[in-house]
Amino acid sequence: MTLAFSPCPNDTFIFDALVNGKIETGGMNFSVSLEDVQTLNEWALEGRMDCTKISYGVLPLITGQYTLLDSGGALGTGVGPLLIAKKPIPLPDISNLRIAIPGKNTTAHLLFSMAFPEAKNKSFMVFHEIEQAVLNGSVDAGVIIHENRFTYQQKGLHKLIDLGDYWEHQLHCPVPLGGIVVKKSIPVETREKLQELIRNSIRYSWSNYPELSEYIRCNAQEMSEDVMRQHINLYVNDYSLSLGSAGRRAVDQLLEIYNRISN
């Protein structure tokens, strides 16, 4: 089975045991690709992988070919993207500014569009390029995700709004950031087996935490161990084991918001 996810610590934490032979897989084998989230979204639109991590922002566009798994995703409270700038800016002025967004089909873009529907001057970038774009003035503000949530203040940047907080106050449910989808052409029993294997992989990683495996470290590039653990603590939680009723309601809300914004 072809499997793709990001090199971010939360994804490598989740899939480490599954793809590196640390748990019994019942004969399932994986050809693994690690890419940034926007690339994963584009691959999902192309139907390239059997199973892949996606931003929930792209889910409405791929439901004909993929189905969402109950495990392996990233949802929660206090986990949403942040809008940052070099200096404080009044929120009513945001719609007139140049905004950097981490990918067109990302959840971050959907949440930003929900909060600022009039903002049209957007530049779509790989997420780790956005802080520098704000610092060098090529954009006025940027939406940051992943480890940049933990480092932007060290660079003298200011938070304008927490888009996750905005979502939570408007809709009273967790923020659905990323999920795991599998092709509908794969038999149901295989999908269910994969779903449970992902849960077992998460449990294995938690049983060894806070120790960080070499797989997590080598894919985290220059990130400090402290930031890796912040990343895992924020994005890997009970929703990663199972969406549950609250998680499924959050996904339904996102699909509804997408349809409202796109129509």
Which residues are annotated as part of the binding site for substrate? 53-55, 107-108
178 and 73 in contact (C-beta within 8 Å)?
Answer: yes
**Is 172 noted as a catalytic residue in this protein?**
no
Q: How far is Cα 51 from Cα 160, in angstroms, rounded to an integer?
A: 36
Q: How far is Cα 195 from Cα 23, in angstroms, rounded to an integer?
A: 14
> Which residue carries 């990663």 as its tokens?
240
* CA-to-CA dists, residue 250 to 54, 80, 94, 136, angstroms: 16, 13, 26, 36
User: Could you tell me the two tokens for 85?
Assistant: 């700038």
Query: From the CB of residue 123, how many other CB atoms can be counted at a distance below 10 Å?
Result: 14
Q: How far is Cα 8 from Cα 122, in angstroms, rounded to an integer?
A: 25
Q: How far is Cα 119 from Cα 112, in angstroms, rounded to an integer?
A: 9
Q: What is the DSSP letter of 73?
A: -
74 and 149 in contact (C-beta within 8 Å)?
Answer: no
- Catalytic residue selected from 128, 146, 158, 169: 146
Residues catalogued as catalytic? 146
